[in-house]
Amino acid sequence: MSDYLPEAVRKGLEEARVAVLRKSGRLCVHDGDAVHRIFRLWDGGFAMQAVEAPRLRGLVDLYDGPRHVMQCLVVASHEEEDLMIYDFKRATQVADRAAVDFAHSDPLPVALIPRLL
């Protein structure tokens, strides 16, 4: 169906699609002080708009809005249509607490309720 649309209409639809992705996307990559929006994220990597995308290589932080999600080692892979594709060499989930080196034997109570006599 898109073959029968005039070029101006197809171009307008593509610009609208990119604008919606840019507004709705909360995912971003922090490379030092620079922040770049992510259009798509999958298990093996992510994609950014090729016009704005730098040739990232190395350690970057991935955020979902204000929440730190992953610390990744990335490399710029290739350009596909209007997107720059980046591959993960390593992607480590960020934990909210430190890892323990022992197993908890019994579940501990959260709080004690005093007895009233």
**What global pTM score does this model have?**
0.64
86: exposed, middle or buried (Cβ count in 10 Å: 0-12, 13-18, 19+): buried
CA gap 44, 69 in Å, rounded: 15
| Residue 99 amino acid letter | A
pLDDT single digits (tens) 32-51: 888 888 888 888 999 988 88
CA gap 115, 117 in Å, rounded: 6
* pLDDT over 90 (residue 52): no
pLDDT single digits (tens) 65-79: 888 889 999 998 888
Domain boundaries, the chain: 26-93
Domain 26-93 annotated CATH 2.40.10.430:
yes
CA gap 61, 71 in Å, rounded: 5
